[in-house]
Structure 1
Amino acid sequence: MDITARARGTLLGLACGDALGRPVEGWPRSRIASEHGRLTEMQDRGIHGLPAGEVTDDTELALCLARSLVESDGFHPDDAARRFAEWFEGDPTGIGGMTRRVLSRVATGEPWDQAAEHVWTQSPEGQNAGNGSVMRCAPLAIRYATDAETLVETSVASSRLTHWDPRCTHGCSALNLVVAGFLRGEADPVSMALERLSDDAPAAVTVALREASTTTDPTMLPVTAYVVDTLEAGVGHALLAETAEEAIVTAVNNGGDTDTVGAVAGAVAGARFGAESLPAAWLNELTVRDEAAALAERLADQAG
């Protein structure tokens, strides 16, 4: 399988995980089982009241980043921040608290780095390290799939557009190193990621990767919006599954922050198994299918 098929799998998997998990976001596993049995099909309504196949901020911000990378031929934080602020002004669906607080300041003209650092320093523990940057960072893994040093640097910088905490910045690096490893067809991307993470990466991030690679029961993977939990769960579900579809379904049916954990699991599993491992029924309903596939292909071309 070539990198282009895996790249399409990455962005389409991310979007499918977001769309499948969106209607049951915040539900415990027991409620999903009670109302849906095992949720395997795109649903309408739900928490945001949207049609089946619609996505939320997870995918929309990933596509903003992908457009910036493609049209600027690389990562330029000012351009990405401008696109994020324009997206924010369109009253988006499902935006996280920290992202909202940062982009509301950027939209009024405050420099993005000043806004992001200020919001982080003013946020108490428990509200300062959410998964709002790790959910959107996968386009960087495609663009810099063959350049680990630049991938680490840009992953950190991309997170800081909204999420300044080191667990977020290095969490993005960790996830993208794993995704890039799968894009290159490596057998053990997690070990490679652990070797290439910066020396100053928080221990919580490296522990999460190790836990993801040793977990044998997907129902024991975490479900919260804490970035370290989402990193562990997204990678863990992708490693345990036999297809991208299985990784996404298992992640979503575990409950909790279903759209974001589903999106992260989908990005990793899509890179591992390729777009062909996603159900045609999902892709037919996915509203962003064509753009996500086209951006993935252009990013893969730039990476080559």
Structure 2
Amino acid sequence: MVSADAATGVLLGLACGDALGRPVEFSSPEQITEQYSTLTDMVGHGTHGQPAGTVTDDTDLALCIARSLAEQAAFDGQDIADRFAAWYDDGPFDVGLMTADAISEYQTGTSWRDAGREVWQRRAQGSNAGNGSIMRCAPHAIAFADGPDKLERVSKQSSAITHHDSRCQYGCVLLNHTIAGYLNGTDDPLTDAIARVEDDAPDELVETVRLVPNLVDEGQLQNTGYVVHTLQTSLYDALTADTAEEAIVASVNRGGDTDTLGAVTGALVGARFGAEALPDRWLDTLEYREELALLSKALATTEIDA
């Protein structure tokens, strides 16, 4: 039985990391240090010029998925794509290039199953495997925590709506298996997750993640938007920290793609430590706090078809 506190921690942790990182997105570690010493509190303004506690596309798109799963009581790729399109039409202040292109492709009439692939095929190697699907995929880990085969299938299908590359699809699988492992109380969820995918997932992804946490030099961790970098860095911070706050703060203060590093790390430590471990001073200003908590509980307690 999935812990309600841990399930709630996943979505609240994701949103906390996203909101903490939002005002310093694209900043270097040195710029963050110069302005804040260490950024530990929700602040306003900064990148995107939003109030403290405001989330970005990371949480917005995770909410699209969570709402769809809860309302449809099933994984419905077209419904998720429709929600992505409606969100995009509202003019969000932050949206990744590949996500925007894939949604636009879907809006021209391309199937949700094909839109991401069409965009991926047009993209040059090196710009076609961003972290835009791992940042939002955690709701699936809650909904399908007790069904690893279903979880793998929907994680790949959901990623491919915008991010077709196998590194992105299996990045979501690895992340979601790890989160589900924490939700189910397993001793070493990352090792279990790697074992599930190592025969099929891209070698670069598997071997990079396999270094976490003891075989990688922290100084070599990277803060880019490349899915392999984000997954390795967030897993490292989530697995080596003693508290949820420590992990999220470490990820955000690395600079670069701070909102997504914070979001992925936050989902992991939310599952690992539970919602009760997230600081009240963050939650007090967090956008969508109540809805995220309600959706988490719904996903954890409702039988959802895949």
Query: What band does the TM-score fall into relative to the shorter chain?
Result: over 0.9
1:168-247 mapped onto 2 (5 Å cutoff): 168-197=168-197, 199-214=199-214, 218-247=218-247
> Residue by residue, what CA displacement relative to the aligned partner does 1:117-156 show, whole Å, maximum 9, x if unpaired?
1110000011100000010000000001011111011100
One-letter amino acid of the structure 1 residue matched with residue 271 of structure 2: A
1:269 match = 269
Please, what TM-score do these two structures have when normalized by structure 2? 0.96
SS in 1 for 2:212: helix
Aligned counterparts of 1:243 and 1:282: Cα–Cα separation in 2? 14
> Residue by residue, what CA displacement relative to the aligned partner does 1:222-251 show, whole Å, maximum 9, x if unpaired?
211000111111111100111111110000
One-letter amino acid of the structure 2 residue matched with residue 233 of structure 1: T
1:118 match = 118
Distance 1:17 1:303, change over 3 A: farther
Gaps of 5+ in 1: none
Asked whether the equivalents of residues 8 and 297 of structure 2 are also in contact (C-alpha less than 8 Å), the reply is yes
2:138 match = 138
1:27-176 mapped onto 2 (5 Å cutoff): 27-176=27-176
One-letter amino acid of the structure 2 residue matched with residue 71 of structure 1: E
Asked whether the equivalents of residues 70 and 298 of structure 1 are also in contact (C-alpha less than 8 Å), the reply is yes
- Report the identity percentage: 49
User: 1:212 Cα deviation (Å)?
Assistant: 2.2
One-letter amino acid of the structure 1 residue matched with residue 11 of structure 2: L
User: 1:199 Cα deviation (Å)?
Assistant: 2.5
Say how many residue pairs are matched.
304
Asked whether the equivalents of residues 174 and 205 of structure 1 are also in contact (C-alpha less than 8 Å), the reply is no
User: 1:74 Cα deviation (Å)?
Assistant: 2.0
Asked whether the equivalents of residues 20 and 43 of structure 1 are also in contact (C-alpha less than 8 Å), the reply is yes
Aligned counterparts of 1:290 and 1:198: Cα–Cα separation in 2? 37
User: 1:214 Cα deviation (Å)?
Assistant: 2.0
Asked whether the equivalents of residues 86 and 107 of structure 1 are also in contact (C-alpha less than 8 Å), the reply is no
Distance 1:152 1:2, change over 3 A: closer
Moved over 3 A (4+): 215-220
CA RMSD in angstroms comes to 1.5
Asked whether the equivalents of residues 23 and 45 of structure 2 are also in contact (C-alpha less than 8 Å), the reply is yes
1:274-293 mapped onto 2 (5 Å cutoff): 274-293=274-293
Gaps of 5+ in 2: none
Aligned counterparts of 2:218 and 2:264: Cα–Cα separation in 1? 15
User: 1:220 Cα deviation (Å)?
Assistant: 3.7
Distance 1:218 1:280, change over 3 A: farther
